Structure 1
Amino acid sequence: MMEVKEKQFTAELEAALESVQTDQKDKLFSYTEKINQVNLYRFLEKAAQLAFPRTFWSSANEDFQMAGAGHAFELSAEVSGSRYDQVEQDWNALLSDAIIYNPYHTSGTGVVALGGFSFDPLKPRTALWRNFPSSHFSIPNYILTQIDGDYYFTINRFISYEDSYASLLEELQNNRQTLLDNRGQQNDTSVLRIQHKKEIAPDQWKKTIKKATDVMKNTSIDKIVLAREVRLHFNQAANISDILKRLVDTQSNSYVFGYEMGGDCFIGATPERLVKVKDDEVLSTCLAGTAPRGTTVEEDEQIASNLFEDPKNRKEHNYVVQMIRSTMETYCSEVSVPDEPVVHQYKTLQHLYTPVRAKLKKEHGIFSIISGLHPTPAVGGTPRQDALAFIRDKELLDRGWYGAPIGWMDSNNHGEFAVALRSALIQKDEASLFAGCGIVEDSIPESEYEETKIKLMPMLSVLGVD
C-alpha cells in the first residue's frame, strides 16, 4: 500500500479491533480503497493459488465487474417457505454490527454479498448439486471491483475479540499483495477439449414433453418449461478464470457469473435480468418472445418486424409484463411500464423487451421483489404453481441453481440479480450443461429438442466443442 493508504488502513483496523474487544463481540470489518488497474482474471487465478473459493460477476451493458476471493461470512437458509426472508434478516443483522470504511459508496464496494438460490427448494437435491444449498451468499474476504474504468479493492474480515492486531495486519497485507500482483502471468497453452459428451435421457425428455402437452389439453395450464442436461468430460481440469473471460469476451449483452462451492463452480452467461435496485430505484425487464438473427441486415430487420407483429409472441410477452407489473405494484410505488415492447438483439437471437421501473417502498428490499418474481413464466410456466407442480413431479432433472436468481447486493443499498440461464456446473474435468424450452399445447418434442441444442451452444463454444 502507498504510505497514506497504509496509515489509513492500519488506523481503521486498529480501531475495529478495539471496538470488538470493548464490546466482547465478533464483528465484520470492511475496508475499501481505490487502486490502480488490476487484471480481474489474474486475481481469480491468484485466489485459486491461495485456495480461496471464487466468485465473479459481470453486468450486461455496463462497465462493471467484480471478482471475489474467500468467504469472510456466509448466509444460508434451507427453510423453503422463508428462505428469502431469512437471508434478508441475516444480511441486515450482519450490516447492523459491521465496521465499514468506504468513502466511495460505489456499487460493488464495501460489504458485498454474492450468491443465489435453487430453482425449487421443494425438489429433492441430488448428488450433482451437493455443494449448493437452497440458498447461499458469501461475503468474499477480498473483492476486486472494476466500474467505469476505475478499480477498487475491498477487504472483509470477521474479527474476533481474541484476534491479535499484528497477526491480523500481516495476514491481510500478505494476501492483498499476492492477489493484486499481476507479475508472472503466463499464457496457458493447454487447450480444453471435450472428450466425451452424453445427453441425459433425451428420449425420456421428449416423452415428458408429450405428457405436458396432454396435461395442458385437459387443464388450465398454458405453459410448462422443461429443462434437460448434457454431461461433458474434458481432457483436463477446466480453468475457471479462462472460461469466465471467454464468456465475457464472446457473450455480449449478457450477465456473466461464477460461483464456487466445495470445488464445484456454477458459471453462465445469461441475457435475462430479474431485478436491479439502486437506493430506491427499481428496474426489472421482461425478455420474452424469441426469434433468430438474420444473415443480412435486410433479413435481420424483417425477422425483427415479424417478431414484433406476431400475435403469439406479443401475447406471451404481455403476460410476463403484467406479472412483473403486478409484483412491482405490491412492493413498489410509481410503477412505469411502456405501452409496447421493443426488439433487443443479441449475438444469435433477438427478443421482445420491455423495461419496468418503479420506486421501492421503504418497508421492502430486493428480496421482496425476487420472491414475487421467481420463477418467471420464462423459466417455470403459467399458472406458476400448477406448472411448478408438474416440473417437480415429472422433470427428470435436478435443476439446482439453474433457472434461479443469482446476483449480488452491497452495503450501499445497491444490488442486481439475473436468471441463471445458459449455464453449466463445472466439476474439475467434468461439467453439466442445462437448457430448457417453454412447452405449450401444440409443442412438437423434436422441435423443442432442437431448440435446446441451440441454447446449449454459447456454453459449449467456450468449453472446447469441436
Structure 2
Amino acid sequence: MTSLPTSESDIAHLAPLVTRTVALSPEDGTALLGLLPATSPRDALSWVRRGEGLVGWGRAASVTTHGAARFEELESWWRDVSSSAVVRDEVDLPGTGPVAFGAISYAADSPSGATLVVPSVVVGRRGDQWWVTTTSPDALPGSADPVAHDDVASPGEVAFADGSLSPTEWAGAVAEAVSRIQAGALDKVVLARDLDVQTSAPIDVRWLLGRLAENYESTWVFAVDGLVGATPEMLVRREKGLVTSRVLAGTIQRTGDDEHDLALAGSLARSSKDLEEHEYAVRSVADALAPHCSSMNVPEAPFVLHLSNVMHLATDVAGVLTDETSSLALAASLHPSAAVCGTPTPVADALISELEHMDRGRYAGPVGWMDARGDGEWGIALRSGSIHHDDAQRMTLYAGCGIVAGSVPEAEVAESDAKLIPMRDALTARP
C-alpha cells in the first residue's frame, strides 16, 4: 500500500502478512514477562496485568502517523494490513491472529506521533489458555518456541533532574490554573510535569516491566516503542460487543498503615474537591461512548481503588456496542478525556499548552493493542516514561494532577511526586 503523506511505514506491503496462532503449553512457573528476549527498547512490547495479557517482540510491520488525523490514518493502515493478511488461527480468542500494539501522542502536533507495531512474535495468556502468534511479511509463516530468559540487566546508577519546570515553578503553574478556574474560565485542567533520567547503563525494558508488575499487580504493565509504564486506567476495552472504560480521577497518597489508609479512603470518598474532579471525568467518558453504545451503565457513585502507593476514586462505565467501531476508534472518540485534559476540553487543552512548557509526547495518550476483529484494550499512558530513541541511557518520566477550584499547589506537587514513585522505584531497584 502507499502510505499517507503524514505517515511513515516500514514496509511496502507488496505481499500480505502471514500470521499463524497456535496453542502453547508452557512449563509450570513460566511468567509471561519472563519470555521477552533481549531486544531494543523500541521492540519490546507488553500489555500484562496479573500475569495475563500479551507480550511481543520483533517487527513484522509498523507505521507512524502525525497530526490531527493520526488516529484515522492508523485505523486505515491496520484495516488494510489485517484484512489482507493470510491468517491461520487455531485458538480464536481476542488477541489471537494479527495483533498490533500501539502508542499515540497526547497532542496532535507532538513530534512523537502515533505508532502501531505488528510484532514478529506474540505470546498471550488468558486464564489457563496460552498461545503464540508468529507473523512474517514472507510467503511462509515464522515459527517460535518461546523460552524464559534470565539475562535482564539493571540500569546501573540512576540520576534524576528537573525537567521543563522545577517543583516550585510547577506549583506556580498550578496556582495560575486555580486562579483561571476560580475566575470562571474553565472547570478543570490536568497539569503534568516531567523528570529527566540519566543511567550509567542502557535501560533494559524488561527490568522496568518486571519491577512494575511485581509492585503494581492491579495495573496494566505496558511497553510500546520505548514508552514504558504501569497504568491503572483502562481508557476503553472492546470485546465481543461489550465496551468498558475505567475512569480514575481524585487521588490521595497512601501511608502504609492499613488503619490510617482506610480512614484516608473514607475522606477521599467524601471529598467535594475530588468528587467534583471525578464527576467531570466520568461525564466526559459517558458522553463520548453514548453514540456508539446502548444499555449504558454509569454508576451513581465511585468506589475507591487501592494501589500500592496511592488511592483513586474510580468508576467503571459499560455499554453494548451498536456499530462496528473498533477499539482504536473508540479510544480516539474518548481522547482526551477530562481525566487527562480537563473541562471544557478546548479551554483546558489551550491552558495545558500555555502552562506546562513541555511536550507530553505519548504520556497521557492511548496505549494498548488491537486485533483484526477490532477488539482490543487501550489504557491511558500514566505512571510512565519514555526511553529516548537515540540514547538508551536517557529517559523522561511524567506525572499529572487534576486541578479544580479547591486545589492547593503544594498538595498537587506532593501528589505528582507520589505518582512518579512507581517509575523511580522501578529504575532504582537493586538486583
Q: TM-score, normalised by structure 1?
A: 0.82
Contact 1:331-1:368 at 8 Å conserved across structures = no
Contact 1:435-1:456 at 8 Å conserved across structures = yes
Output the CA distance in 1 between the equivalents of 2:31 and 2:270: 45
Contact 1:63-1:149 at 8 Å conserved across structures = no
1:119 aligns to 2:106 (yes or no): yes
**2:3: which partner in 1?**
none
1:432 aligns to 2:393 (yes or no): no
Contact 1:110-1:412 at 8 Å conserved across structures = no
**2:5: which partner in 1?**
none
1:31 aligns to 2:31 (yes or no): no
1:400 aligns to 2:361 (yes or no): yes
**1:56: which partner in 2?**
46
| Candidates 170, 175, 186, aligned match of 1:205 | 170
**2:94: which partner in 1?**
107
Provide closer, same or farther for how the CA distance between residues 393 and 220 of structure 1 changes in structure 2, counting only shifts above 3 A: closer
| Candidates 49, 67, 76, aligned match of 2:55 | 67
Output the CA distance in 2 between the equivalents of 1:312 and 1:246: 33
1:409 aligns to 2:373 (yes or no): no
Contact 2:328-2:374 at 8 Å conserved across structures = no
Q: Deviations over 1:290-345 (max 9, x none)?
A: 22335444333322222222233222222222222211211111111223222221
Output the CA distance in 1 between the equivalents of 2:263 and 2:147: 50
Output the CA distance in 2 between the equivalents of 1:351 and 1:52: 31
Output the CA distance in 2 between the equivalents of 1:326 and 1:399: 25
In structure 2, runs of 5+ residues without a counterpart are: 1-12
How do residues 361-372 of structure 1 correspond to structure 2 at under 5 angstroms? 361-372=322-333
Letter in 1 for 2:278: H
Output the CA distance in 2 between the equivalents of 1:46 and 1:422: 23
**1:20: which partner in 2?**
none
**1:314: which partner in 2?**
275
Q: Highest Rg: 1 or 2?
A: 1
**1:461: which partner in 2?**
425
Q: Deviations over 1:261-287 (max 9, x none)?
A: xxxx21001111100000210001221
Would you identify which runs of 4 or more consecutive aligned residues in structure 1 move more than 6 Å?
A: none
Greater shift, 359-368 or 91-100, is seen at 359-368
Aligned length: 410
**2:6: which partner in 1?**
none
Q: Deviations over 1:234-260 (max 9, x none)?
A: 221122112211111111211110123
Output the CA distance in 2 between the equivalents of 1:455 and 1:53: 26
1:104 Cα deviation from its structure 2 partner: 1.2
| Candidates 66, 69, 75, aligned match of 1:78 | 66
1:44 aligns to 2:7 (yes or no): no
Provide closer, same or farther for how the CA distance between residues 205 and 342 of structure 1 changes in structure 2, counting only shifts above 3 A: closer
| Candidates 181, 205, 230, aligned match of 1:240 | 205
Letter in 2 for 1:322: R
Contact 1:52-1:70 at 8 Å conserved across structures = no
In structure 1, runs of 5+ residues without a counterpart are: 1-23, 126-131
1:147 aligns to 2:111 (yes or no): no
1:32 Cα deviation from its structure 2 partner: 0.7
Provide closer, same or farther for how the CA distance between residues 181 and 368 of structure 1 changes in structure 2, counting only shifts above 3 A: closer
Output the CA distance in 2 between the equivalents of 1:426 and 1:239: 10
Q: Deviations over 1:95-130 (max 9, x none)?
A: 22211100211232210010121001135x3xxxxx
The Cα RMSD (Å) is: 2.4
Letter in 2 for 1:376: S
Q: Deviations over 1:175-213 (max 9, x none)?
A: x25xx244xx5565x653444221123143233223323
**1:345: which partner in 2?**
306
Provide closer, same or farther for how the CA distance between residues 251 and 218 of structure 1 changes in structure 2, counting only shifts above 3 A: same
Provide closer, same or farther for how the CA distance between residues 206 and 95 of structure 1 changes in structure 2, counting only shifts above 3 A: same
1:156 aligns to 2:135 (yes or no): yes
Output the CA distance in 1 between the equivalents of 2:159 and 2:258: 38
Provide closer, same or farther for how the CA distance between residues 135 and 33 of structure 1 changes in structure 2, counting only shifts above 3 A: same
Provide closer, same or farther for how the CA distance between residues 181 and 217 of structure 1 changes in structure 2, counting only shifts above 3 A: closer
Q: Percent identity?
A: 28
